[in-house]
Amino acid sequence: MAASVRPILSYLFFIEFFVLTLAVNAGWMSKEQYLLVWNNEMQAIFAAVVSFWFGHRTFGRREQT
């Protein structure tokens, strides 16, 4: 169970980004509402999650060679 926490949170961040982008493009919410939810702090967290996964893969490859 403990090993699945990080992947689940990562998937939730991707789903949140997708749903918010879809909501703006479909006209379900305004750009101002989008920016209230998807602010600089959330963007930083999202960037950290993406960097963790892709950075982890890169360093994992270096250790194998």
Q: What is the pLDDT of residues 12-50, one digit of tens each?
A: 989 988 999 999 999 999 999 999 988 999 999 888 888
Cβ–Cβ under 8 Å, residues 38 and 20: yes
pLDDT attached to residue 62? 60
Task: Find out whether 10 and 47 touch, Cβ atoms under 8 Å.
Answer: no
What pLDDT, on a 0 to 100 scale, did the predictor assign at position 63?
Answer: 58
Number of domains in the chain: 1
Cα–Cα distance, 6 to 12 (Å, whole number): 10
The boundaries of the domain holding residue 17 are 2-64
Q: What is the pTM for the complete model shown?
A: 0.68
Amino acid at the residue 63 = E
Assign 6 a pLDDT band (cuts: 50, 70, 90).
confident
- Rounded to whole angstroms, the Cα distance separating 34 from 21 reads 8
